[in-house]
A and B are shown apart, each in its own frame.
Chain A
Amino acid sequence: DAMVIQNPRYQVTQFGKPVTLSCSQTLNHNVMYWYQQKSSQAPKLLFHYYDKDFNNEADTPDNFQSRRPNTSFCFLDIRSPGLGDAAMYLCATSRDRGGEQYFGPGTRLTVT
Chain B
Amino acid sequence: DAKTTQPPSMDCAEGRAANLPCNHSTISGNEYVYWYRQIHSQGPQYIIHGLKNNETNEMASLIITEDRKSSTLILPHATLRDTAVYYCIGPPDPYSGGGADGLTFGKGTHLIIQP
Distance A77 CA – B101 CA, assembled complex (angstroms):
21
Query: Which B residues fall within an 8 A CB radius of A?
Result: 32, 34, 36, 38, 42-46, 49, 87, 91-92, 96-108
A-B contact count (CB 8 A): 71
Q: List 17 A-B contacts (CB under 8 A).
A: A33-B102, A42-B106, A43-B38, A43-B44, A45-B96, A50-B101, A55-B97, A55-B98, A57-B97, A60-B97, A90-B44, A98-B91, A100-B46, A100-B49, A101-B46, A101-B103, A102-B46
Question: Which has the most chain B C-beta neighbours within 10 Å: A33, A43, A44, A60?
Answer: A43
Query: Which A residues fall within an 8 A CB radius of B?
Result: 4, 31, 33, 35, 42-45, 47-48, 50, 55-60, 90, 92, 94, 97-98, 100-106
Cβ of B4 to closest chain A Cβ, rounded Å: 11
> Chain B interface mostly helix, strand, loop or mixed?
loop
Contact A44-B105, Cβ < 8 Å, known A56-B97, A57-B98:
yes
